[in-house]
A and B are shown apart, each in its own frame.
Chain A
Amino acid sequence: MVYSYFPGCTLKNKARDLDLYGRRAAQALGVTLEEIPEWQCCGGVYPMNEDEIAVRLSSVRALNYAKENGGTLVTICSACHNVIKQVNNDMAADGTISTHANNYLKQDGIEYHGEAREIHYLELLRDEIGYDKVRAAVKNPLKGRKIGAYYGCLLLRPSNVMKMDDAEHPTIMEDLIEAMGAEKVVYAMRNECCGGYQTLEDKEVPAKRARMILENAKDNGADTVITACPLCYYNLKKQAEAEGVRVVYFTELLAQALGVKDENESAAAGDGDGAPACKCPMAAKEETK
């Protein structure tokens, strides 16, 4: 099985582990993620207002490529997933946005009305590959590990568009945890915000949020918390040591369970060491103004 894949900018830089292990695990499960050419940043956050058209275009271009190449676009990063899925919904259901966006894209010869399907890697595992197959492929069951899923906001909300799972009582990550042979830990804070991009301006807000989340996970018995979002990972990771809970990308744990992670391998940039600090393209643009 081959799927069109949108990695997103963070997975090419600070969150290389999320990408690397995601691809490897997919390969081990017989799925190839084919990175789409010349993808552009999704914008990081979904533009909630009706009159913001230009910032939706990169998502539409990616979706249009997927439409012509297999019909399905896979994302791993929660933020990319949230933005692209919501934009896809706009293109299918919101006539005003769809008309305006298509007017822009005419010059590229693109006409798009939500024909492609956008799915998150977790949905790929659950719905396309199937957790039974994942379970059968596990070589190193994570026996004895107590793992809490951290959904954050972007995977689930708004649920009437995301449709991944019950927004208040999700099971998609817990089922994966069990498929990997570990014990799931359900805790109430798993779908509460980590503070997100507020971390840029005020470190204390996300610090407080992350402590509440990790404490709740730990109080329920979790030794590890998994996430699909680089920003959640960053915010949680900062408090992880103090709280005594490990924070890892879900793909890394999956790769480990499937036996495709070299334990001696130096993590690419997941922990922030190694890779050079990358300037965000938007920051660079602003500076040259």
Chain B
Amino acid sequence: MTADYDVTAEEIEQISGVNPLRCMRCGRCSATCPAYDEMEYHPHQFVAMVERGEIDKLMESQSIYKCMSCMACIERCPRQVKPARLIEAIRLAVVRKQGGNHLCPDDVPALYDPDLPQQALVSAYRKFTK
């Protein structure tokens, strides 16, 4: 995979409204994250890696699709860092690229379940495609 996404940490910070320097490394976000086990990089690492400018690694990781947007990390962060917003910003940077959609319409029939509420599809589309 190419390592150059042309996205800078500054852009991620700007569109997410997150300042990683506010983080005091307590780990409350990762302690509360329900998707922790599914992730390669965990919420606290998103914050630290954006601070260090390691955006490409995050963009290449499947972790960006594992966040459930439950906002527990936002609610419980003692420094108002809002890690979920960073994850969302990086995911957006990926799906906004040509061919960057994570979910293709062709995939849907296989994933579909007649009981599935519209809300699930809409949400997944909003999160995974552009």
Contacts and interface: CB of A to CB of B under 8 A. Distances in A.
B28 interface: no
A227 to B, nearest CB: 12
Interface in B76-116: 82, 84-85, 88-89, 92, 103, 105, 108, 111-112, 114-116
A157 B70 contact: yes
Contacts of A6: none
Interface in A1-44: 8-10, 13-15, 41, 43-44
A230 interface: yes
A10 B117 contact: yes
Interface string B8-19: 000000111100
Contact of B126 (A15, A43, A199): A43
The A interface, classified by DSSP as helix, strand, loop or mixed, is loop
Given A200-B124, A234-B116, A234-B120, A50 B15 contact: yes
Given A48-B88, A192-B72, A205-B35, A234 B115 contact: yes
Interface stretch (A103-111, A253-261, A279-287): A279-287
Given A45-B69, A205-B38, A51 B118 contact: no
Contacts of B114: 272, 277
Interface residues of A, number: 54
Contacts of B119: 8-10, 15, 44, 77, 79, 197, 229-231
Contacts of B125: 44, 280, 282-283, 286
B41 interface: no
B111 A201 contact: yes
B70 A197 contact: no
Nearest to A230: B117
A10 B127 CA distance: 18
Nearest to B106: A287
Contacts of B34: 192-193, 195, 209
A278 B118 contact: yes
B105 A283 contact: yes
Contact of A193 (B15, B65, B68): B68
Interface in A237-289: 237, 271-272, 277-278, 280, 282-283, 286-287
Interface in B1-50: 14-17, 34-35, 38
Contacts of B74: 157-158
B122 A9 contact: yes
11 contacts: A8-B119, A44-B123, A48-B89, A49-B92, A50-B15, A50-B16, A51-B15, A157-B72, A192-B70, A195-B34, A201-B65
Interface of A: 8-10, 13-15, 41, 43-52, 55, 77, 79, 152-153, 156-159, 167, 192-193, 195-202, 205, 209, 229-231, 233-234, 237, 271-272, 277-278, 280, 282-283, 286-287
